[in-house]
Amino acid sequence: MIEILRTRFSKLWKSMRLEGDPNYWFDYIVVRYSERHRFYHVLEHIFDCLEKFDWVKHLIPHPSWVEFALFIHDLVYSTDREEGKLNERLSAEIGCVMLQAGSARRSTIDGVSGLVMVTKGHKPGTWLDAQYACDIDCSILGAPPQEFNIYNENIRREYAHVPLPDYIVGRTDALVGLAKPVSIFSTDYFSQKYELQARLNIERALAELPLLTK
């Protein structure tokens, strides 16, 4: 999988006409996503996101921005209550450094940075690129129950240091927040494909959270 991602990142780097060696930056990406405290936010998540990106890239106004953003959107992933608030901002800043090193255009730097930032609250508004980026990132919510369960368990593993009562409160808030909008997904494609299953998964996860204490 790593070599598939390496080849893909190199191809993307060259298609964006960036300067320098993409392998240098890809090695950095691998190091970040291989951190020991990660269980869901790992390279497999990026691989899955990129697979789903391929389904819809022909519908995205700036596909290279979205693809690059998907590679880097979780570069910084802290599960500390305070540090975690900066995850997307720091990931976006690292992305800016990468793109500046490659002599990217300002519009590209701003576009990629903006896409990473919008994954913080998954509120893309009317920006179509961001709608697809957020829907791809959230697509795990609409996975088959067994796959969703693994995702849910891995999130708990990432927050294993958090006392269970606090985790239940925080996870409940997160799941309720995701399910609040009229539609979890912003694009027709992902809404039609995942909306119903996502709501069923979230409803079941919310019902099961109190059982963790028993």
The conformation of residue 123, written as its DSSP 8-state character, comes to -
Residues 62, 8: Cα–Cα separation, whole Å:
17
pLDDT tens for 62-107 read: 999 999 999 999 999 999 989 989 999 999 999 999 999 999 999 9
pLDDT tens for 161-179 read: 999 999 999 999 999 988 8
Of 107, 149, 136, 153, residue with least CA distance to 46: 136
